[in-house]
Structure 1
Amino acid sequence: MQEEIQKLIDRMLDPKEEDAYYFADKLGAMADEATKDHLIALVKGDHWESAFLACRALSKSTFAAEALEAIFEIIFDRKNKSHQGEFVQILEEFDLSNSFVDLFRVFLFGNFKASTLAKVYLDEVEFEITPRTIRKAEKHWNHYLHNPEDEGSLALKKVEVEPMLQEMRELFED
């Protein structure tokens, strides 16, 4: 079994392989605890294309929820700023219903592609919202208000974020 898993990893990571997604999906379906650990190490590694494929494999595994923490960690890592969008894009393969605050942070602080994709997820995914979720989102929003990247983006974000937060607060006003 381990030999077969290693062959899948090698095929997935081969830069000449045209069917890398196929091997990532197959690897994810077969992943055990050791494979999960290896894939998460790839996610946190220095080669973004290997990390992306490892994310894909993890999305097809029984460890997908556990892998989200590592993926958000690399999204927020400054060294990945130029590839944030790719990592946010792979999130479409995961259940994001418990990831509102992380996606909200990406929306606020991510590069253009990452922020745009995060906004799509915020609009389309049905999240588990609690008063604690709202408080955390408001904390990040206040941080953004006091540290905007530029005044133009601040005005645009206000138009989108303030009604969103107000709508969520109203859910718990009874």
Structure 2
Amino acid sequence: MQENIQTLFDRMCDPKESEAYFFADKLGGVADEEAKDKLVQLVKGDAWEVAYLACRALSKTKFQEESLDVIFETIFDKKNKSVQGAFTQILEEFDLSHRFVDVFKVYLFGNYKASTLAKVYLDEVEFDITPRTIRKAEKHWNHYLHNPEDEGSVELKKSEVEPMLKEMKELFDQE
């Protein structure tokens, strides 16, 4: 079996392979703990195309939740600023219901594509929200307000975020 897994890794990572997505999906379906660790290392690597395929493979494993930690780290890694959108796009393959704050941070601090995709997730995913989640989101929101990367987007984000946070707070004020 290990030989089969190594063959899948080789095919997925081969830049000339036209069906790399197929091999990533197949690898995700058979990945064990050792394969997961190797995929995580690929996600952290310097070849973003291979990292993206590794994310895709991880989305097909039973290690989805722990894989999200490394994917969000990768999104915020400065070396990936120009490809944040690709890593944000692969998040659609994962269960994000417990990751409101992480997705919110991508919305606030990601590049245009990443921020736009994160906004879609914020609008469409049913998140598990707690008072602690709201406090963490407010902390990031305040940080954004005091350190915006793009002054022009502050008013737009303000018009979207403040009603969202207010609505979430009201859910808990009624209890």
Do they superpose with TM above 0.5?
yes
CA root-mean-square deviation: 0.6
Alignment partner of 1:156 is 2:156? yes
> Where do residues 1-174 of structure 1 align in structure 2 (5 Å cutoff)?
1-174=1-174
Compute the displacement of 1:65 (Å): 1.0
Distance in 2 between residues matched to 1:37 and 1:114, nearest whole Å: 26
TM-score (normalizing by structure 1): 0.99
Where 1:62 maps in the other structure, the secondary structure is: coil
After superposition, the C-alpha distances for 1:134-160 in whole angstroms (9 at most, x for unaligned) are 000000000001011233210111000
TM-score (normalizing by structure 2): 0.98
Q: Which runs of 4+ in 1 moved over 2 A?
A: none
Corresponding letter in the other structure for 1:122: L
Where 1:148 maps in the other structure, the secondary structure is: coil
Compute the displacement of 1:112 (Å): 0.1
Distance in 2 between residues matched to 1:38 and 1:89, nearest whole Å: 22
Corresponding letter in the other structure for 2:164: M
Q: Which moved more, 1:68-77 or 1:143-152?
A: 143-152
Structure 2 unaligned runs (5+)? none
Compute the displacement of 1:39 (Å): 0.2
Distance in 1 between residues matched to 2:150 and 2:46, nearest whole Å: 30
Where 1:103 maps in the other structure, the secondary structure is: helix
| Identity across matched positions, percent | 75
After superposition, the C-alpha distances for 1:73-107 in whole angstroms (9 at most, x for unaligned) are 01011111001000000000000000100000000
Distance in 1 between residues matched to 2:66 and 2:158, nearest whole Å: 32
Distance in 1 between residues matched to 2:153 and 2:123, nearest whole Å: 19
